[in-house]
Chains A and B, each alone.
Chain A
């Protein structure tokens, strides 16, 4: 699915990430942890082709990202659902329209898939908030709406960046259950989080591999996790 081969990323000659090697196998569940500023978001951006590695290689669905055209990047992103930390919605559209946005940009008619959108909204517990605007949503609702948008095209991979960063524990567990459910449906999941309690709760439900970024390098987390 996604493969990093000694991938590194530098900005203004500062190495933010170095020597990253990882293969996200189909159906796997990974957590990526590390302190704030360790480079978790940068790592996800490399996987989502928002950033290009400055050394080494990142291959997405078998293709080196640096060899991809801009259109190819867009097409491959449709196979990867992403939940950003700040969610990033279009505030002039309703929540349902935001959730359906990936359908519209991929040339499908959202109105003909209204049933699926309804189902998805109900699945993330937002069926009563279809017509609300994103600024009207709570933190937890925004995260769930972002998750619904991430999976609307039924992608192969789900990437989530601190999806429980701004929500309470009950809501975090609810979101985690949704991610585990997606993984059981065969989706590859990678969650970046600094919330160790979330990781422990997940390990009770799913066989998740935990990775840690330390000193700009990727390593397996210890047995304490």
Chain B
């Protein structure tokens, strides 16, 4: 692997005399630059989508795994007894690190988005909520439900699975879609560069003929084209990545807690992925051009 990277570095450094054997310019140069730039630009957003979806899935997954709620619905006179029974059940259940009854202010805060700040929580028959924190090993949900049904009939365990699991699945799928998009972009880049390389090889048939006449091996001829296309892809992708990064910086701030879009963007180590995009484009161009060149040269008599 290190050898291959070193080989790619040597390739990009170039060989002055060998580079000149293929005439410069031609429409394939512009096509490669544009394709690499556009694809890198799109890759920035696909990468941002993947990272954001991944962070969201991880966050929801960990929250899902750590917390649950017990809702106690009982007549006012029995509420204290039921609450004590629930806390006792939770205290003696393996896998539960702690249980805490939410006070009236906390319950009001939970309801505020729907009913406003003036809701008279004390005068309404609102169920009491107990926040449950798990240990790392977790608890047996079915067993806990049975115990609650027996000892505190008005209590219902909500482990958040019902509503969080589809969201986690969706976020996971979104992350996969992001990776798939990057893969498709890489494949499209390879296809475009292959077409451009084949066009360049066809346009330079006479150059190839002369090079063979003076004893050039296929790998030498291929290298002359590969070096050129790899450099173009690298520079085009670098420009596209910079443009994409600038666009990401210019996205409006969504605030810290405004849902999925809040995480769209790069932060911290996320930025470190960006330099990988031009390198990926250069690698794709290297292999696509090399394969196309050797295939075309192998087909020539």
Contacts A93-B20, A101-B21, A104-B17 given; indicate if A88 touches B215 (C-beta within 8 A).
no
Question: Does residue A78 face the partner (Cβ distance < 8 Å to B)?
Answer: yes
Q: Is the CB of B218 within 8 A of A78?
A: no
Bound complex: CA A78 to CA B266 (Å): 55
Question: Does residue A207 face the partner (Cβ distance < 8 Å to B)?
Answer: no
Question: Does residue A215 face the partner (Cβ distance < 8 Å to B)?
Answer: no
B1-60: which have CB < 8 Å to A?
16-18, 20-21, 23-24
Q: Is the CB of A90 within 8 A of B207?
A: yes
Bound complex: CA A89 to CA B287 (Å): 30
Bound complex: CA A77 to CA B220 (Å): 15
B191-221: which have CB < 8 Å to A?
206-207, 209-220
Q: Is the CB of A90 within 8 A of B21?
A: yes
B244-300: which have CB < 8 Å to A?
298
B15 shortest CB reach to chain A, Å? 8
Q: Which residues of B contact A89 (CB under 8 A)?
A: 210
Q: Is the CB of B21 within 8 A of A93?
A: yes
Q: Is the CB of A110 within 8 A of B21?
A: no
Interface size class of B (residues with CB under 8 A): 20 to 34
Q: Is the CB of B210 within 8 A of A102?
A: no
Nearest chain-B residue to A50 (Cβ)?
A: B213
Q: Is the CB of A74 within 8 A of B20?
A: no
Q: Which residues of B contact A77 (CB under 8 A)?
A: 212-215
Contacts A105-B211, A109-B17, A110-B17 given; indicate if A92 touches B23 (C-beta within 8 A).
yes
Nearest chain-A residue to B216 (Cβ)?
A: A105
Contacts A88-B210, A90-B210 given; indicate if A75 touches B21 (C-beta within 8 A).
no
Q: Which residues of B contact A205 (CB under 8 A)?
A: none
Q: Is the CB of B214 within 8 A of A70?
A: no
Q: Is the CB of A104 within 8 A of B210?
A: no
A70-85: which have CB < 8 Å to B?
70-71, 74-75, 77-78, 82, 84
Bound complex: CA A146 to CA B24 (Å): 23
B121 shortest CB reach to chain A, Å? 84
Bound complex: CA A71 to CA B216 (Å): 8
Question: Does residue A30 face the partner (Cβ distance < 8 Å to B)?
Answer: no
Question: Does residue A156 face the partner (Cβ distance < 8 Å to B)?
Answer: no
A118-168: which have CB < 8 Å to B?
149, 153
Q: Which residues of B contact A104 (CB under 8 A)?
A: 17-18, 21
Bound complex: CA A23 to CA B278 (Å): 57
Question: Does residue A106 face the partner (Cβ distance < 8 Å to B)?
Answer: yes
Q: Is the CB of B17 within 8 A of A111?
A: yes
Q: Which of A92, A105, A111 contacts B215 (CB under 8 A)?
A: A105
Contacts A71-B218, A105-B220, A111-B17 given; indicate if A88 touches B23 (C-beta within 8 A).
no
A76 shortest CB reach to chain B, Å? 8
Q: Which residues of A contact B24 (CB under 8 A)?
A: 92
Question: Does residue A97 face the partner (Cβ distance < 8 Å to B)?
Answer: yes
Q: Which residues of B contact A100 (CB under 8 A)?
A: 17
Nearest chain-A residue to B217 (Cβ)?
A: A74
Q: Is the CB of B212 within 8 A of A74?
A: yes
Q: Which residues of A contact B210 (CB under 8 A)?
A: 88-90, 101
Q: Which residues of A contact B212 (CB under 8 A)?
A: 74, 77
Nearest chain-A residue to B219 (Cβ)?
A: A71
Nearest chain-B residue to A149 (Cβ)?
A: B214
Q: Which residues of B contact A74 (CB under 8 A)?
A: 212, 215-218
Nearest chain-A residue to B297 (Cβ)?
A: A70
Q: Is the CB of B215 within 8 A of A106?
A: yes
Nearest chain-A residue to B24 (Cβ)?
A: A92
Bound complex: CA A82 to CA B206 (Å): 17
Nearest chain-A residue to B218 (Cβ)?
A: A70
Q: Which residues of B contact A111 (CB under 8 A)?
A: 16-17
Q: Is the CB of A102 within 8 A of B218?
A: no
Candidate in B209, B216, B217, B220 with the most chain A CB atoms within 10 angstroms: B217
Q: Which residues of B contact A70 (CB under 8 A)?
A: 217-218, 298
Q: Is the CB of B214 within 8 A of A105?
A: yes
Bound complex: CA A188 to CA B213 (Å): 19
B28 shortest CB reach to chain A, Å? 16
Bound complex: CA A50 to CA B212 (Å): 9
Q: Which residues of B contact A109 (CB under 8 A)?
A: 17
19 contacts between A and B (CB under 8 A): A50-B213, A75-B215, A77-B213, A84-B213, A88-B213, A90-B21, A92-B20, A92-B23, A92-B24, A93-B20, A97-B17, A97-B20, A101-B214, A104-B18, A105-B214, A105-B217, A105-B220, A111-B16, A111-B17
Q: Which residues of A does B touch, CB under 8 Å?
A: 50, 70-71, 74-75, 77-78, 82, 84, 88-90, 92-93, 97, 100-102, 104-106, 109-111, 149, 153
